[in-house]
Amino acid sequence: MQVNEKEFKPLIVAFCCNWCSYAGADLSGTNRLNYPANVKIIRVPCSCRVNPMFVLRAFQRGADGVILCGCHPGDCHYTTGNYYTRRRMTLLFSMLDYLGIERDRTRVEWVSAAEGAKFAATMNDFVATVTRLGENKRLEDLRCKKQ
Amino acid sequence: MQRIGVFVCWCGSNIAATVDVKQVAETLKSEPGVVFAADYQYMCSEAGQNLIKDAIRDHKLTGVVICSCSPRMHEATFRKTAAAAGLNPYMVEIANIREQCSWIHKDKAVATEKAIILGRAAIAKVHLNAPLTPGESPVTKRALVIGGGIAGIQTALDIAEAGFPVDIVEKQPTIGGKMAQLDKTFPTLDCAACILTPKMVDAAQHENIHIYAYSEVEEVKGFVGNFSVTIRKKARMVDPVKCTGCGLCTEKCPMKKVPNEFNLGMNNRSAIYIPFAQAVPKVATIDPAYCIKMKTGKCGLCSTVCEAGAIDYTQQDELVEEQYGAIVVATGYNPIKLDQFDEFAYAQSPDVITSLEFERLTNAAGPTAGTLLRPSDGKHPHTIVFVQCVGSRCDGGKGKSYCSKICCMYTAKHAMLTREKYPDTDVYVFYIDVRTPGKNFDEFYRRAVEEYGVHYIKGMVGKVAPQADGTLLVQGSDLIENRQLRLNADLVVLAAAIEPDASARPLATKLTASMDTNDFFTEAHPKLRPVESPTAGIFLSGACQGPKDIPETVSQASAAAAKVIGLLVKDKLKGNPCVAHSNEMMCNGCSSCEKVCPYGAITYVDKEFRMPDRTTAIRRVASVNPAVCQGCGACTVACPSGAMDLNGFSNSQIMAEVDAICK
């Protein structure tokens, strides 16, 4: 059996809403709370801006995990945006489940602007979970894979 | 093809210590479309901004990527820089390589690699940016203050003095808030009523202030400069215009056994009542839960005695809609409920009271007319134990993790006043730490110890047990002497932690203003924008934002007023151009977007289209009102045909970022 000497570092795409979670991510930076560098954040105005297509695109292009972060239910800057996110992603995730994509590769979390520590803890936990699952092979489009 | 300039900031050593900024600039320079790349110590400095401006002009840049701190920090700065050099400000994108890269990673190679990827994502996005122009919207020159305590009153007075009309909405029958219940105020020992009530009267008589007492905010619509607020005027069963506040009805009312909330239930009031003598507005209110007429239909005595004919048992809640340009939240605080603190026997013994109750017991207008008497037997207490930090700095779940800030000072005040009025009383204060940062605060505390001989004991009280002889056995520890203490006290006063008023959470939802985990309103920036909520047009005043004493509350109230005035003097506000728009050629008029829009910004119009066969057809298509749209993007995902898109965060832009990150 071959031992993989290079430790697997999953690629994580995190969509963060501008008002709560992106600010929470900034706060975890300000407080110097570490989380792995393989988490890359994309800023969106609201978690409800995230089209399920974006999640699929990330997996297609080789992401190993996708996480959406928004304001806590009831605290959405746009009143109801995160409720739409919750429903849309529940639907998408159950579809991914049906396709045989591990449920743990996707996640929706609520992180407020004051929860820098929660942001870092969430990312550490998510990276650990995806690392255990290993590489995303099922949804990756090999034609997009870097040589 | 865009001509993109990349500017990598060192932020002194904040970024440069963990990210190889030269390498980032070098690598990103070879990205397609990038014609210029530079790094500089402080991009936000004047020299740094000049570097950007010169590059925009010299290299005819059409897009700018700045790798620096969070866009929440300097996006506005760099957009202005670009605009000054003649570039559309919305052609600027920021790669956050400080808060989300250099500050969280220690390994320089890893952080540099991440910074390059974040820079690439921003470049990919800028390729698809389009120039945007913000629309303008008018400003309603009127402010709403929610809460009529000292914070709300001060904010309203300051705004009104600047010449703008202000409405105060107060849920209680009178304004005044917690400060009206206090006896004296630290550190000067001014009488609270003497300094508060003139302000209440000023507010009531000011030509620019209108007070909606006994009213609540029902619904908030709109956005900064253009809020539309529905106010519920609760039925008082008394016509406030006719009522003269003579108080005859309150004397004649036969139902006299209603717990008086102004005195925290320590005495009773009548079913028709005026909360206290200096109430503003001085109008009687009928409590429908106790009024005999309201419950059984019989009685009606108050109506008979009222010479002004102000009583109206048929009065209903009334909803009024008002327009405002700015909203100030001043909902204040409450002491926490002590149900879960069984060890202090608060529920078991009437002689265990909270500090606010103590305040009423020593107030000349209180239940004992200012004489300090035990609630149980009306005798003078000879030993009083004050317990601090009851529920404050308590991580165990039943209390609050934070310091309530005001308790050290008011306990010192209570202890000092007790010793002054009743020198034969022994006063003990149990504390974890005494925190007295404030002008003349520590001097005040030292006077309590040194001049008035108050016994301060460092340590917590473990148990208060009522004894058969009517005293209270207080068991605690003295950490300095390292021994257990047992004291027989006549009265125990608990400095209960303070928490935001219960109305704050539902109000925050109505305002879409964010709160922290303790339900205090979050400020836009903890240091630089402490009186603004992150939601534009919502301002914070007083203890709704965090525990505060009166001087701090008044400072913040005036600061909030200054911010409101700064907003209301403007005639027009620039809107956010990052709004949704619909591609009419793709829209099939299905209404999916209209249903998810929280602002009602989407309407449908019938439009004439030329068909390929040169005939014309009328089709129903979505149309977005850019002045109302706030740019959340809910509609873009709901649209089944992909016709709806969001400026600044378009489908293709986000996809490009995803691709760049996953490359």
Interchain contact, A32 vs B117, CB within 8 Å? no
From chain B, pick out residues whose CB is under 8 angstroms from the CB of A44: 633, 649, 654
- How far apart (Å, rounded) are the C-alpha atoms in residues A134 and A64? 8
- How far apart (Å, rounded) are the C-alpha atoms in residues B255 and B272? 8
From chain B, pick out residues whose CB is under 8 angstroms from the CB of A58: 658, 661-662
Q: Which residue, of B470, B497, B524, is where some domain finishes? A: B497
Report the CATH number that the domain containing residue B618 is assigned in CATH. Answer: 3.30.70.3270
For residue A30, pLDDT beyond 80: yes
The structure tokens listed for B178 are 């917690």
For residue B188, pLDDT beyond 90: yes
Nearest by CB to B100, from A41, A44, A57: name it.
A41
Same domain? B25 vs B107: yes
Interchain contact, B661 vs A11, CB within 8 Å? yes
- How far apart (Å, rounded) are the C-alpha atoms in residues B115 and B122? 11
Same domain? B294 vs B218: no
- Sequence-distant (≥ 6) Cβ neighbours of residue B245 within 8 angstroms: B274, B279, B281, B282, B283, B284
Mean pLDDT in residue range B161-186: 96
- Shortest Cα distance, chain A CAs vs residue B123, angstroms: 13
Tell me if the bond preceding B598 is cis, omega within 30° of 0. Answer: no
Mean pLDDT in residue range B219-246: 94
Same domain? B354 vs B483: yes
Q: Hey, is the C-beta of B376 within 8 angstroms of any chain A C-beta?
A: no
Question: Does residue B544 sit within a domain?
Answer: yes
Same domain? B456 vs B395: yes
Domain boundaries, chain A: 12-144
Mean pLDDT in residue range B136-164: 96
Question: Does residue B240 sit within a domain?
Answer: no
- Longest alpha-carbon distance in chain B: 104
Same domain? B388 vs B344: yes
- How far apart (Å, rounded) are the C-alpha atoms in residues B13 and B8? 13
Residue of B44, B84, B90 lying closest to B67 (CA atoms): B44
Domain count of the fold of chain B: 5
Tell me if the bond preceding B288 is cis, omega within 30° of 0. Answer: no
pLDDT tens digits, residue range B496-514?
Answer: 999 999 999 999 989 988 8
- Sequence-distant (≥ 6) Cβ neighbours of residue B612 within 8 angstroms: none
Same domain? B351 vs B471: yes
- How far apart (Å, rounded) are the C-alpha atoms in residues B89 and B83? 5
pLDDT of residue B398: 86
- Shortest Cα distance, chain B CAs vs residue A99, angstroms: 22
Report the CATH number that the domain containing residue B182 is assigned in CATH. Answer: 3.50.50.60
Same domain? B465 vs B384: yes
Question: Does residue B318 sit within a domain?
Answer: no
Residue of B323, B329, B325 lying closest to B228 (CA atoms): B323
pLDDT tens digits, residue range A115-125?
Answer: 999 999 999 99
Enter the DSSP assignment of B525.
B
Nearest CA in chain A to B515: A75
CATH number for domain A12-144, candidates 3.90.105, 1.10.1760, 3.40.50, 3.30.420: 3.40.50
- How far apart (Å, rounded) are the C-alpha atoms in residues A15 and B658? 10
For residue A146, pLDDT beyond 70: no
- Shortest Cα distance, chain A CAs vs residue B121, angstroms: 9
What's the pLDDT band for A2 if we cut at 50, 70, 90? very low
Judge whether B334 and B149 are in contact, CB under 8 Å: no
Q: Hey, is the C-beta of B578 within 8 angstroms of any chain A C-beta?
A: yes
For residue A1, pLDDT beyond 50: no
pLDDT of residue B325: 96
Summary mean pLDDT of chain B: 94
Interchain contact, B634 vs A112, CB within 8 Å? no
pLDDT of residue A6: 66
Three-class SS state of B466 = strand
The structure tokens listed for A32 are 């110097």
The structure tokens listed for B30 are 């070879």
Same domain? B491 vs B416: yes
Judging by DSSP bridges, how do beta strands B136-138 and B572-574 pair with one another? antiparallel
- Sequence-distant (≥ 6) Cβ neighbours of residue A29 within 8 angstroms: A116, B70, B98, B99, B100, B101, B103, B104
Residue of B223, B215, B241, B218 lying closest to B152 (CA atoms): B215
Interchain contact, B98 vs A75, CB within 8 Å? no
Angle between helical axes of B192-205 and B150-161 (0-180°, round to 10): 40
Mutate to test the interface with A, among B632, B650, B651 (most CBs of A within 10 A): B632
- State which residues form the domain around B453: 336-497
- pLDDT higher at B182 or A136: B182
Residue with tokens 């036969």: B254
For residue A3, pLDDT beyond 50: no
Mutate to test the interface with B, among A78, A111, A115 (most CBs of B within 10 A): A78
For residue A94, pLDDT beyond 50: yes
Question: Does residue B475 sit within a domain?
Answer: yes
Mean pLDDT in residue range B433-456: 95
Interchain contact, B514 vs A53, CB within 8 Å? no
From chain B, pick out residues whose CB is under 8 angstroms from the CB of A144: 662
pLDDT of residue B330: 98
Mean pLDDT in residue range B155-179: 97
pLDDT of residue B525: 80
- Sequence-distant (≥ 6) Cβ neighbours of residue B207 within 8 angstroms: B160
- Shortest Cα distance, chain A CAs vs residue B637, angstroms: 5
Least confident of A103-107, B213-217, B533-537: B533-537
- pLDDT higher at B449 or A73: B449
From chain B, pick out residues whose CB is under 8 angstroms from the CB of A70: none
How high is the ipTM of this complex? 0.95
Question: Does residue B320 sit within a domain?
Answer: no
Nearest by CB to B512, from A79, A112, A120: name it.
A79
- Sequence-distant (≥ 6) Cβ neighbours of residue B241 within 8 angstroms: none
- Shortest Cα distance, chain B CAs vs residue A110, angstroms: 12
Same domain? B491 vs B514: no
Q: Which residue, of B94, B126, B158, is where some domain finishes? A: B126
Mutate to test the interface with A, among B113, B125, B628, B637 (most CBs of A within 10 A): B637
* C-alpha triplet B380, B385, B391: angle, nearest 5°: 130
pLDDT of residue B135: 85
Enter the DSSP assignment of B319.
E
Pairs of CB atoms within 8 A across A/B:
158
Other beta carbons within 10 angstroms of residue B630's beta carbon come to 23
pLDDT of residue A4: 52
For residue B340, pLDDT beyond 90: no
Residue with tokens 């009928």: B286
Q: Which residue, of B466, B497, B528, is where some domain finishes? A: B497
pLDDT of residue B575: 84
In chain A, count of helices (H) and strands (E)? 4, 4
Same domain? B447 vs B554: no
Question: Does residue B132 sit within a domain?
Answer: no
Mean pLDDT in residue range A78-100: 92
Q: What is the pTM of this model?
A: 0.82
Sign of CA dihedral B639, B643, B647, B649: positive
Question: Does residue B456 sit within a domain?
Answer: yes
